[in-house]
Amino acid sequence: MFNEYMWKTYLNAGGKDVVKMFEDNFTKKMSPSYYDEILNLHKNICAAPIVSKRVCEDLKMLATDLKNNDFLYGCYSIIDMFNAKNFDCTIENVMKGLYDGLNDTGKEKPNYMFKEFALGITYYSTFLAIEFPEAFIPYYFCYNYNVLEKIAEEFEIEMPEIPVKKDYEGRFFHYAEICMTLWDFRKKHNMSPYELWAFLYDFAPKYIGGTDSYIIKDIPEPKGAYFIGGSKDDIFLDGNEEKITCWQCDPDTRAGDMIVMYLKTPVSAVDSVWRSISVGFNDPFFYYYRCTYIARPVSIKRITQKELQQDSVFKEVPIVRKNMQGINGVELLPSQYNHLMDIAGADVPRLEFIVSESGQELIREKDVENKLIIPLLKKLGYNENEYTKQLYIEIGNHNHAMIPDFVLLPKHSKGHYSAFALIEAKIKISSQKQLEETKTQARSYAVQLKSKYAAIADKNKIWVLSSDDDYSEEIFSVSWDELNDPDVFSKLLKLIGVNSKNAKK
C-alpha cells in the first residue's frame, strides 16, 4: 500500500534530487551523468550487470541521436505526429503511429514490429517520455518484469493482464497499457511525471528490497532440471561463477533448479550446468517471453548431440529427436538429468528425493503426520509458515466446525478461509469403502476452502484428488516407497509443490 508519509520522507531525504535529475535530463538536455545515475539506480532492479550495461548503451545512443536529429526507424513517424496540426496525442494514437512507422513496408508481420520495439524498448520509451512526459514512462525494467509486478503488488497498482506469448501486437501495446495504469496511479497520488519515475526506479525498488526481492542467495536443494541453449559467443554468457545472468527458461523454474547449458553451432554439445537463483517468470517485453536468473556455472565434460542421439536413454527423448531445436526451458526428468550427469562425471547435485525411510514404526495417525506428511511437505518446498495443522474453520452460527489435518497456503480474510490444497491423514485405509468415506470428508473440506487439490495419506499410500472433477477420482496415487523414485516424486511436485503452476495463482 502506498504510504504518503514514507513517500514524503523519501523526497525530503534526497528523493527530490532524483526527481530533479529526471526533470533536468528530460526537459533540457540528456547529460553524460544521466547514464551513471541510471546505472546506479538500475543495480537495485537488475542483478545481471550485462543488462544494466545495455540499458545505458541504449541511452547513450539516444543522446547521440537527439544531438544529431537522427533516430531509430519509427521515431520519425512520432515526430511527424507531434508536428501535425490537430493531432490527438493520446497514448493509444502515439503507439499506433510508432507501430505503423516500424511497419514501413506495410507488409511486416506483428512479430517484426514487436521485436524491433522490444529490443529497443529503453531507447523508444525514453524518446517517448522526452516528447510526451505527461503520458509515457521511460521503461527500464528490461528482463525484470518480475520487479515491476512486485512493485505493483506492494503498492496496489492493478496491472493489465499480460498478453500470451504469440500475441505480438498485444505485447507491443502492453507498454501503452502500463503507461495508462501508471498515469492513473500518478494522478491519484498527485505526482509529477518525474516524481513517478523517481518512485519507479529509486523509491519502490529499494522499498521491496531491490534484487534481494527475487534473487535467492541461499540456494535450496534442486527440485527439477531444465535444458537451455546458447552459443559460446553469447554476450549474456559469462564463465565467472560470481556473475549472474538472465536466460530464457520455463516459467515453472524454481530457485535451486539445475540448468543444463547446451551450446549450439558450432559446438553442438552440453557444456555446463548452472543453478537457477530466481523463480521463473513471464516477461512480455522479452522476445522469448519466459525468463529466469541463473548463476554458478560448472563446466562439465562436453557431451555432443551425436552422443546424446546414440545414448540408450536420450535417443528416445523428444528434444534430442528434434535435433535440440527449441531447447530453452525443456524439462528433464530427474532420471534423465541424473543419467546425463553420470555420463559427464559431473560434480554437481543430483535430483534425489528420499521422502520416507523403510522400517519406520507407524502405529498412530500422529505418526503418519509427523514421520510422513511433514517431511513430505518439506520436500515439496513448504516451510512451517506455509501450511497449517488442524485449521479450525467455523461453519454456520458457531455450532459446527471443520478441522482439516493440513492446509497448504491458507488465506484468511473477513471470516473466509481459502487454500491451495489440503491433506487429510489416516493411520490405515484398509478398504475401498473406507477410502470413499475419507474422500467425502476431504471433499467437504476442499469445497469449503475452495482448494485446487485434496490429498489423503495413510501409512501406506498417498492419494491426490482435484477440483476439476469435484474431487471424485484419484489423479495421482502411489505408495510412499514409490515416491522415493525421483521421476514419480516430480509428478507430485508439479501438482501440489509450493512453487507449482497452480500454487502461484
Q: Determine whether 122 is exposed, middle or buried from the number of CB atoms within 10 Å of its CB (0-12, 13-18, 19+).
A: buried
Answer yes or no: do 94 and 58 share one domain.
Answer: yes
**Amino acid symbol at 97:** G
Q: Can you give the pLDDT at residue 398?
A: 47
C-alpha cell at 48: 545481471
Cell 454456520 found at: 396
329-377 pLDDT, tens digit per residue, is 999 999 999 999 999 999 999 998 877 766 678 878 888 999 999 999 9
Q: Is residue 218 part of a domain?
A: no
Answer yes or no: do 301 and 333 share one domain.
Answer: yes
| 292: three-class secondary structure by DSSP | strand
Answer yes or no: do 8 and 150 share one domain.
Answer: yes
Last residue of a domain, one of 278, 311, 344: 344
Range of the domain at 287: 225-344
Q: Can you give the pLDDT at residue 347?
A: 94
CATH, residue 325? 3.10.590.10
The domain total for the chain is 3
pTM of the model: 0.81
CA dihedral 145, 147, 149, 154 (to 10 degrees): -170
Nearest to 244 by CA among 274, 288, 271: 274
Q: Is residue 350 part of a domain?
A: no
Last residue of a domain, one of 311, 344, 377: 344
Contacts 24+ apart (CB under 8 A), 16-21: 18/198, 18/201, 18/202, 19/192, 19/194, 19/195, 19/197, 19/198, 20/194
Answer yes or no: do 194 and 260 share one domain.
Answer: no
Q: Is residue 354 part of a domain?
A: no
CATH, residue 383? 3.90.1570
Q: Can you give the pLDDT at residue 500?
A: 85
Last residue of a domain, one of 344, 373, 404: 344
Cell 515453472 found at: 252
Mean per-residue pLDDT over the chain, rounded:
90
Read off the pLDDT of each residue in 381-396 and give the average, rounded to a whole number.
Answer: 82
Read off the pLDDT of each residue in 64-87 and give the average, rounded to a whole number.
Answer: 74
Q: Can you give the pLDDT at residue 79?
A: 75
